[in-house]
């Protein structure tokens, strides 16, 4: 009935959940024992005896046990909730790393963020409020039946008749609640994604005067979200109403009336009746709490279902099991042999039996029309995509036979659109080398021709760059990306045309910085501007994922093939 995947009950959580269930039941046993003592004391007083002085230490001990159990019960729930929240969030992030951008780029970022943030709050509430309470609430009627049956079997049988109705009713309500909670979680995730899209695309919305239109769409989505929330609350209120008045109040009434009738018949003593009535309150408390927080369990299960679905997705690239990373290579060759890769749903391969060789110290340029497979090849080299055929070798090792991190350690990437994290310039530079000194940062930035601009800022390297580096110019972001690559000092540099989106004056500065970066390195250049590839040692022309031709600028121009045609279209001169 709890319907939670076992993968989300980690070892540390399971331990505290067990503690919570045990102390919850122990507290109930202590309460029932206390009520028995009270009943015996009342019977003794009716006969002219006083047992309070004798039993006072026992009663005090039972009250202390109840207090201790209550404290441990709440502590165990809190521990289970907090540990689960931290552990599952770490699991989500670790799996996101395994999936990589090839898989994550096909998903809406807002929905993933909603699962990892708001979803975790509901998972925390599930473990912190509902889980232990549910188990204790289901076990309480059975313990009460035993206790009451020992006092009077007739009252025990009367109570026992109503016990099976509890899980039956909760099961019936649970199905309705599950459907409502899954709709709520889905609508909530979609609205979070829509809001994030609107914030990130604010410039586009302003440009096309779509702000009000988008606002109306979000208002309609918010109204749908409100309706789903109200449906969820309605089902929960019906649950509370039925549990409070149907089970809790009804059971207490049946037990009290039966006990009084047995008292009138002389089968029970006044003290026994008092003990039974006090015990009936214990029956009501856990069920009432289960009813009040049933929505926490239902929504928690809905988010758990989404989390399990995410964790069940297969990564695009998986490390070989049990293989340790070999020692790093100083200047490895990079070779691709008959590589094949096809995106899911595509009609043809993006890379079709493609072979490339990048020798140590060589500069190799990849050119081709959009969709020719250049970016896919880079992602295959970076091990964010797994080829379906062929082999990729780095030095003496096949890339799929060593950890992907080992391959990436030999690569430095300067992308066309570098990503800067929210934080300081220094923090973004140390992404490449966490233990880099201030002097190392300054040296890298001097080589990237940006140190003087950073030093002129009021906070220097402690300047906040803003989200995605939006407080910096495009040229500054590119030079910081070059500085990061310099700090990494990898033997192979991948350049995804880092000058294609900047002005000519800035391009000259960046080309000088790139010269510092690529000195004594192997370079793979993805070229969009053909003017940037003339000095490459070799140029490879791609088309439909295949190598159309390869050679130097002069050789390809002399052949009059695809490269010469591309130059003619671009209006370039030999």
DSSP-assigned states of every residue in 16-54: HHHHHHHHHHHHHHHHHHHHHHHHHHHHHHHTT---HHH
Fold entry, domain 6-311: ABC transporter transmembrane region fold (1.20.1560)
CA distance 432 to 115: 29
Q: Is the pTM above the cut of 0.75?
A: no
CA distance 507 to 484: 18
Q: What is the pLDDT of residue 311?
A: 82
Q: Which among 268, 251, 250 is positioned nearest to 259, based on CA atoms?
A: 268
Q: What is the pLDDT of residue 438?
A: 92
Tell me the per-residue pLDDT of 6-26, one tens digit each, with 9 for 90 and over. Answer: 667 777 777 888 888 898 889
The residues spanned by each domain of the chain are: 6-311, 334-570
> Which secondary-structure segment (H or E) carries 365?
strand 363-368
Q: What is the pLDDT of residue 572?
A: 46
Q: What is the pLDDT of residue 359?
A: 92
Can you tell me whether residue 7 is helix, strand or coil? helix
Homologous superfamily (CATH) of 334-570 is P-loop containing nucleotide triphosphate hydrolases (3.40.50.300)
pLDDT string in tens for the chain (574-residue length): 455 666 677 777 778 888 888 988 898 888 888 888 888 888 888 777 777 677 778 888 888 888 898 888 888 888 888 788 778 888 888 888 777 776 766 777 767 777 777 777 777 777 777 777 778 877 777 787 788 778 877 777 766 666 555 555 555 555 666 666 667 777 777 777 777 677 666 656 666 666 777 778 777 877 777 777 777 667 666 666 666 565 666 677 777 777 788 777 777 888 888 888 788 777 766 666 666 566 667 777 777 888 888 888 877 787 888 888 888 888 899 999 999 998 877 889 999 999 999 999 898 989 988 888 888 898 899 888 889 899 999 988 998 899 888 998 898 888 888 888 888 899 989 988 889 899 999 998 988 888 989 999 889 999 888 776 677 887 888 888 888 888 888 899 888 876 655 555 566 777 777 777 778 888 898 887 777 788 888 999 999 889 999 999 899 988 988 888 888 877 644 4
Q: What is the pLDDT of residue 542?
A: 92
Q: What is the pLDDT of residue 540?
A: 92
């Amino acid at each position: 009935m709890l319907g939670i995947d076992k993968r989300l009950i980690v070892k540390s959580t399971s331990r505290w959940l067990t503690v919570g269930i045990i102390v919850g039941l122990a507290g109930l046993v202590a309460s029932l024992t206390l009520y028995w003592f009270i009943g015996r004391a009342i019977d003794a007083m009716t006969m002219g005896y006083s047992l309070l002085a004798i039993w006072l230490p026992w009663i005090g001990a039972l009250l202390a046990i109840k207090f201790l159990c209550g404290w441990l019960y709440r502590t165990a729930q809190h521990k289970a909730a907090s540990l689960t929240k931290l552990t599952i969030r770490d699991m989500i992030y670790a799996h996101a790393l395994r999936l990589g951008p090839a898989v994550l780029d096909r998903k809406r970022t807002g929905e993933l963020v909603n699962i990892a943030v708001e979803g975790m709050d509901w998972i925390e509430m599930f473990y912190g409020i509902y889980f232990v309470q549910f188990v204790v609430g289901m076990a309480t009627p059975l313990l009460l039946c035993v206790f009451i049956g020992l006092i009077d079997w007739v009252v025990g049988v009367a109570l026992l008749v109503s016990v099976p109705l509890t899980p039956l009713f909760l099961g019936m309500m649970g199905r309705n609640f599950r459907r409502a909670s899954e709709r709520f979680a889905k609508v909530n995730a979609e609205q979070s994604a829509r809001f994030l899209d609107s914030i990130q695309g604010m410039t586009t919305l302003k440009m096309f005067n779509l702000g009000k239109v988008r606002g109306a769409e979000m208002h309609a989505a918010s109204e749908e979200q409100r309706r789903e929330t109200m449906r969820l609350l309605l089902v929960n209120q019906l649950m509370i109403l039925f549990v409070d008045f149907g089970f809790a109040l009804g059971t207490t009434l049946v037990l009290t009336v039966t006990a009084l009738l047995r008292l009138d018949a002389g089968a029970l003593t006044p003290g026994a009746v008092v003990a039974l009535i006090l015990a009936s309150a214990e029956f009501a408390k856990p069920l009432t709490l289960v009813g009040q927080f049933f929505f926490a369990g239902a929504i928690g299960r809905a988010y758990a279902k989404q989390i399990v679905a995410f964790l069940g997705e297969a990564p695009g690239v998986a490390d070989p099991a049990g293989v340790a990373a070999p020692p790093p290579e100083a200047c490895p060759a990079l070779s691709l042999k008959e590589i094949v890769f096809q995106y899911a749903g595509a009609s043809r391969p993006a890379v079709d039996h493609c072979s490339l060789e990048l020798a140590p110290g060589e500069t190799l340029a990849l050119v081709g029309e959009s969709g020719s497979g250049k970016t896919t090849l880079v992602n295959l080299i970076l091990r964010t995509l797994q080829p379906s055929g062929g082999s990729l070798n780095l030095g003496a090792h096949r890339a799929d036979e060593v950890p992907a991190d080992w391959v990436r350690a030999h690569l430095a990437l300067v992308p066309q659109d570098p990503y800067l994290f929210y934080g300081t310039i220094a923090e973004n530079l140390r992404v490449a080398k966490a233990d880099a000194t201030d002097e190392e940062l300054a040296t890298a930035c001097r080589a990237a021709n940006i140190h003087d601009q950073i030093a002129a800022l009021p906070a220097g390297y402690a300047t906040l760059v803003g989200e995605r580096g939006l407080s910096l110019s495009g040229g500054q972001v590119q030079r910081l990306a070059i500085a990061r690559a310099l700090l990494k000092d990898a033997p192979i540099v991948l350049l995804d045309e880092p000058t294609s989106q900047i002005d000519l004056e800035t391009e000259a500065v960046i080309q000088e910085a790139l010269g510092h970066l690529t000195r004594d390195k192997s370079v793979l250049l993805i070229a969009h501007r053909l003017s940037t590839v003339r000095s490459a040692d070799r140029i490879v022309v791609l088309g439909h994922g295949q190598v159309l031709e390869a050679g130097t600028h002069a050789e390809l121009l002399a052949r009059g093939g695809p490269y010469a045609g591309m130059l003619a279209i671009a209006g370039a001169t030999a």
